[in-house]
Amino acid sequence: MEIRNLPDLCHDHLRRAGAIYRSDDSEDVKKTTLKALLLKTETCKRCQRLRHGETEPKIMNRRIVPSWNGTNLVETPPSDLEFFSSRQRRVEEFMSKGLFPLPTLPEPLMSKLFELSPPVLNARPGATRLEDSFVLPRVIFIDEEYILKWFTSFPGHFVRGDKVKEIFESPFRMPTAICDQLAAVGETSMSSLEFWIILRNGERVPCWYGGYNPFIELSRQNRPNDIVDVEIGRRSVVGEEAVLAEPDFVWCVYK
Protein backbone atom coordinates (compact mmCIF):
# COMPACT_ATOMS: atom_id res chain seq x y z
CA MET A 1 0.00 0.00 0.00
CA GLU A 2 1.33 3.40 -1.01
CA ILE A 3 0.95 6.06 1.67
CA ARG A 4 3.00 8.69 -0.12
CA ASN A 5 1.37 10.95 -2.71
CA LEU A 6 -1.80 11.15 -0.67
CA PRO A 7 -3.82 14.34 -1.08
CA ASP A 8 -3.57 16.90 1.75
CA LEU A 9 -5.21 15.46 4.85
CA CYS A 10 -6.29 17.07 8.08
CA HIS A 11 -4.64 15.78 11.22
CA ASP A 12 -7.50 13.46 12.06
CA HIS A 13 -7.61 11.84 8.62
CA LEU A 14 -3.83 11.65 8.44
CA ARG A 15 -3.84 9.78 11.72
CA ARG A 16 -6.46 7.34 10.42
CA ALA A 17 -4.52 6.80 7.19
CA GLY A 18 -1.44 6.05 9.28
CA ALA A 19 -3.39 3.52 11.35
CA ILE A 20 -4.55 1.73 8.20
CA TYR A 21 -0.98 1.67 6.90
CA ARG A 22 0.37 0.17 10.12
CA SER A 23 -2.42 -2.37 10.59
CA ASP A 24 -1.89 -6.12 10.19
CA ASP A 25 -4.54 -6.37 7.48
CA SER A 26 -3.70 -7.74 4.06
CA GLU A 27 -2.64 -5.33 1.32
CA ASP A 28 -6.02 -5.68 -0.37
CA VAL A 29 -7.96 -4.85 2.77
CA LYS A 30 -5.67 -1.87 3.45
CA LYS A 31 -6.20 -0.53 -0.06
CA THR A 32 -9.97 -0.83 0.22
CA THR A 33 -10.08 0.78 3.65
CA LEU A 34 -7.84 3.62 2.53
CA LYS A 35 -9.96 4.20 -0.54
CA ALA A 36 -13.06 4.48 1.64
CA LEU A 37 -11.26 6.86 3.95
CA LEU A 38 -10.12 9.08 1.07
CA LEU A 39 -13.68 9.23 -0.19
CA LYS A 40 -14.78 10.57 3.19
CA THR A 41 -12.14 13.29 3.08
CA GLU A 42 -13.93 14.74 0.05
CA THR A 43 -16.55 16.06 2.43
CA CYS A 44 -14.20 16.88 5.31
CA LYS A 45 -14.01 20.66 5.69
CA ARG A 46 -10.50 20.60 7.11
CA CYS A 47 -9.09 18.37 4.37
CA GLN A 48 -10.80 20.52 1.76
CA ARG A 49 -9.45 23.71 3.27
CA LEU A 50 -5.90 22.38 3.09
CA ARG A 51 -6.41 21.26 -0.52
CA HIS A 52 -7.54 24.75 -1.44
CA GLY A 53 -4.24 26.07 -0.19
CA GLU A 54 -5.71 27.63 2.95
CA THR A 55 -3.08 26.38 5.34
CA GLU A 56 -3.81 28.89 8.10
CA PRO A 57 -6.33 27.60 10.63
CA LYS A 58 -8.77 30.02 12.26
CA ILE A 59 -7.75 31.61 15.55
CA MET A 60 -10.19 30.69 18.32
CA ASN A 61 -9.21 33.54 20.59
CA ARG A 62 -8.70 36.41 18.17
CA ARG A 63 -8.29 39.59 20.16
CA ILE A 64 -9.48 43.00 19.10
CA VAL A 65 -8.88 45.03 22.26
CA PRO A 66 -5.51 44.58 23.98
CA SER A 67 -5.56 43.51 27.62
CA TRP A 68 -3.90 46.79 28.66
CA ASN A 69 -6.59 48.93 27.03
CA GLY A 70 -7.73 51.26 29.82
CA THR A 71 -4.44 52.21 31.48
CA ASN A 72 -1.88 54.82 30.46
CA LEU A 73 0.89 53.07 32.38
CA VAL A 74 1.71 50.58 29.65
CA GLU A 75 4.30 52.06 27.31
CA THR A 76 5.90 51.17 24.00
CA PRO A 77 9.57 51.92 23.33
CA PRO A 78 10.24 55.17 21.42
CA SER A 79 10.16 54.63 17.66
CA ASP A 80 13.59 56.22 17.18
CA LEU A 81 15.25 53.67 19.47
CA GLU A 82 18.46 52.56 17.77
CA PHE A 83 19.83 49.05 17.78
CA PHE A 84 23.37 48.33 18.93
CA SER A 85 24.94 44.91 19.18
CA SER A 86 27.35 46.15 21.82
CA ARG A 87 25.90 45.80 25.29
CA GLN A 88 27.48 49.05 26.44
CA ARG A 89 26.09 51.05 23.50
CA ARG A 90 22.65 49.55 24.11
CA VAL A 91 22.75 50.57 27.76
CA GLU A 92 23.72 54.10 26.68
CA GLU A 93 20.90 54.18 24.12
CA PHE A 94 18.37 53.00 26.74
CA MET A 95 19.71 55.67 29.11
CA SER A 96 19.43 58.45 26.56
CA LYS A 97 15.85 57.46 25.63
CA GLY A 98 14.73 57.36 29.27
CA LEU A 99 14.27 53.56 29.46
CA PHE A 100 17.20 52.93 31.82
CA PRO A 101 17.89 53.03 34.70
CA LEU A 102 15.01 50.71 35.50
CA PRO A 103 13.06 51.31 38.69
CA THR A 104 13.55 48.99 41.63
CA LEU A 105 10.67 46.71 42.52
CA PRO A 106 9.88 47.52 46.18
CA GLU A 107 10.81 44.73 48.62
CA PRO A 108 7.37 43.31 49.56
CA LEU A 109 6.55 43.03 45.85
CA MET A 110 9.89 41.48 45.05
CA SER A 111 9.29 38.74 47.64
CA LYS A 112 5.79 38.19 46.32
CA LEU A 113 7.14 37.86 42.77
CA PHE A 114 9.69 35.27 43.84
CA GLU A 115 6.97 33.29 45.66
CA LEU A 116 5.07 32.85 42.39
CA SER A 117 5.70 30.06 39.94
CA PRO A 118 9.31 29.29 39.06
CA PRO A 119 10.86 31.40 36.30
CA VAL A 120 11.97 30.35 32.83
CA LEU A 121 15.37 31.93 32.13
CA ASN A 122 14.65 34.36 34.96
CA ALA A 123 11.43 35.62 33.35
CA ARG A 124 8.61 35.39 35.87
CA PRO A 125 4.94 35.24 34.83
CA GLY A 126 2.26 36.83 36.99
CA ALA A 127 -0.54 39.38 37.11
CA THR A 128 -0.54 42.88 38.59
CA ARG A 129 -2.68 45.66 39.88
CA LEU A 130 -1.12 48.96 38.79
CA GLU A 131 -1.05 52.22 40.74
CA ASP A 132 -4.09 53.43 38.77
CA SER A 133 -5.93 50.24 39.97
CA PHE A 134 -5.92 48.73 36.49
CA VAL A 135 -5.38 44.97 36.53
CA LEU A 136 -3.03 43.44 33.97
CA PRO A 137 -3.97 39.74 33.83
CA ARG A 138 -0.81 38.59 32.04
CA VAL A 139 2.58 40.04 32.85
CA ILE A 140 6.10 38.72 32.41
CA PHE A 141 8.53 40.27 34.87
CA ILE A 142 12.04 40.70 33.56
CA ASP A 143 15.07 42.44 34.99
CA GLU A 144 17.83 44.49 33.40
CA GLU A 145 20.07 41.47 32.94
CA TYR A 146 17.33 39.60 31.07
CA ILE A 147 16.72 42.51 28.71
CA LEU A 148 20.39 42.91 27.90
CA LYS A 149 20.88 39.21 27.41
CA TRP A 150 17.78 38.18 25.44
CA PHE A 151 16.54 41.31 23.72
CA THR A 152 18.09 42.88 20.66
CA SER A 153 16.00 45.96 21.40
CA PHE A 154 13.67 46.91 24.26
CA PRO A 155 10.52 44.86 25.10
CA GLY A 156 7.41 45.81 23.11
CA HIS A 157 4.61 46.65 25.53
CA PHE A 158 5.99 47.27 28.96
CA VAL A 159 5.18 48.70 32.35
CA ARG A 160 7.80 49.99 34.78
CA GLY A 161 8.23 48.14 38.06
CA ASP A 162 7.50 51.25 40.15
CA LYS A 163 3.97 51.48 38.69
CA VAL A 164 3.04 48.12 40.19
CA LYS A 165 1.00 48.06 43.40
CA GLU A 166 0.21 44.38 43.73
CA ILE A 167 1.47 41.11 42.26
CA PHE A 168 -0.45 37.87 42.11
CA GLU A 169 -0.59 34.60 40.18
CA SER A 170 -2.01 34.97 36.68
CA PRO A 171 -5.20 32.97 36.13
CA PHE A 172 -3.91 32.34 32.61
CA ARG A 173 -0.66 30.65 33.52
CA MET A 174 -0.22 27.00 32.52
CA PRO A 175 0.95 24.48 35.13
CA THR A 176 4.71 24.48 35.74
CA ALA A 177 5.27 20.98 34.33
CA ILE A 178 3.58 22.02 31.06
CA CYS A 179 5.51 25.32 30.90
CA ASP A 180 8.78 23.44 31.43
CA GLN A 181 8.08 21.08 28.53
CA LEU A 182 7.09 23.92 26.19
CA ALA A 183 10.03 26.09 27.21
CA ALA A 184 12.44 23.19 26.68
CA VAL A 185 11.27 22.89 23.06
CA GLY A 186 10.88 26.64 22.50
CA GLU A 187 10.02 26.43 18.79
CA THR A 188 8.85 23.58 16.55
CA SER A 189 9.89 25.62 13.52
CA MET A 190 11.08 29.18 12.97
CA SER A 191 8.92 31.51 15.12
CA SER A 192 6.34 28.80 15.60
CA LEU A 193 5.44 26.45 18.43
CA GLU A 194 2.72 23.89 17.71
CA PHE A 195 1.26 21.77 20.48
CA TRP A 196 -1.85 20.19 21.90
CA ILE A 197 -2.83 20.54 25.47
CA ILE A 198 -4.81 17.69 26.94
CA LEU A 199 -7.47 18.60 29.47
CA ARG A 200 -8.65 16.58 32.45
CA ASN A 201 -11.92 15.79 30.62
CA GLY A 202 -9.93 14.25 27.75
CA GLU A 203 -10.43 17.18 25.40
CA ARG A 204 -7.46 18.04 23.17
CA VAL A 205 -6.96 21.69 22.31
CA PRO A 206 -4.65 22.58 19.41
CA CYS A 207 -2.41 25.59 20.06
CA TRP A 208 -0.22 27.52 17.67
CA TYR A 209 2.11 30.01 19.31
CA GLY A 210 4.91 32.15 17.93
CA GLY A 211 7.24 30.67 20.53
CA TYR A 212 7.27 29.79 24.19
CA ASN A 213 4.68 31.64 26.28
CA PRO A 214 3.51 30.56 29.75
CA PHE A 215 -0.05 31.84 29.26
CA ILE A 216 -3.11 30.25 27.68
CA GLU A 217 -6.61 31.55 27.08
CA LEU A 218 -8.96 28.58 27.34
CA SER A 219 -12.60 28.83 26.44
CA ARG A 220 -15.62 28.37 28.64
CA GLN A 221 -15.32 26.48 31.90
CA ASN A 222 -11.76 25.21 31.48
CA ARG A 223 -8.92 26.57 33.59
CA PRO A 224 -5.17 26.17 33.01
CA ASN A 225 -5.09 23.83 36.02
CA ASP A 226 -7.26 21.44 34.05
CA ILE A 227 -4.33 20.86 31.70
CA VAL A 228 -2.90 17.42 32.44
CA ASP A 229 -0.55 16.90 29.53
CA VAL A 230 0.97 18.44 26.43
CA GLU A 231 2.01 17.01 23.05
CA ILE A 232 4.43 19.09 21.04
CA GLY A 233 5.20 18.59 17.36
CA ARG A 234 5.97 20.38 14.14
CA ARG A 235 3.11 20.42 11.59
CA SER A 236 0.90 18.90 14.26
CA VAL A 237 -1.90 21.45 14.51
CA VAL A 238 -1.81 22.97 11.03
CA GLY A 239 -4.54 20.58 9.86
CA GLU A 240 -6.91 21.74 12.57
CA GLU A 241 -9.88 23.93 11.70
CA ALA A 242 -9.17 26.37 14.53
CA VAL A 243 -6.32 26.83 16.98
CA LEU A 244 -5.60 28.79 20.13
CA ALA A 245 -2.99 31.50 19.72
CA GLU A 246 -0.97 32.89 22.60
CA PRO A 247 -2.85 35.60 24.45
CA ASP A 248 -1.28 39.04 24.67
CA PHE A 249 0.73 40.11 27.71
CA VAL A 250 2.77 43.00 29.05
CA TRP A 251 6.42 42.97 30.11
CA CYS A 252 7.17 44.42 33.52
CA VAL A 253 10.72 45.76 33.69
CA TYR A 254 12.46 46.18 37.02
CA LYS A 255 15.86 46.18 38.62
Q: Return residues touching Zn ion (CB under 5 A).
A: 10, 13, 41, 44, 46-47
- Identify the bridge partners of residue 206 per DSSP, sorted by sequence position: 196
Nearer to Zn ion by Cβ, of 44 and 216: the residue is: 44
Nearer to Zn ion by Cβ, of 39 and 190: the residue is: 39
CA angle in degrees (0–180, nearest 5) for 37-41-42 = 125
Distances 216 to 56, 116, 223, 227 between C-alpha atoms, Å:
20, 17, 9, 10
Nearer to Zn ion by Cβ, of 10 and 197: the residue is: 10
**Cβ distance 81 to 154 under 8 Å?**
yes
CB of 56 to Zn ion, least distance (A): 16
Nearer to Zn ion by Cβ, of 47 and 139: the residue is: 47
CB of 19 to Zn ion, least distance (A): 14
Nearer to Zn ion by Cβ, of 44 and 105: the residue is: 44
User: How many Cα neighbours within 13 Å face the side chain of 4?
Assistant: 0
CB of 13 to Zn ion, least distance (A): 4
Nearer to Zn ion by Cβ, of 41 and 128: the residue is: 41
CB of 48 to Zn ion, least distance (A): 8
CB of 53 to Zn ion, least distance (A): 15
Residue 157 and residue 239: Cα distance in Å, rounded? 32
CB of 240 to Zn ion, least distance (A): 10
Q: Burial letters for 64-82: b for 16+ Cβ neighbours within 10 Å, e otherwise?
A: eeebbeebebbbeeeeeee
Distances 255 to 28, 180, 193, 207, 213 between C-alpha atoms, Å:
68, 25, 30, 33, 22
**Cβ distance 75 to 252 under 8 Å?**
no
Residue 252 and residue 157: Cα distance in Å, rounded? 9
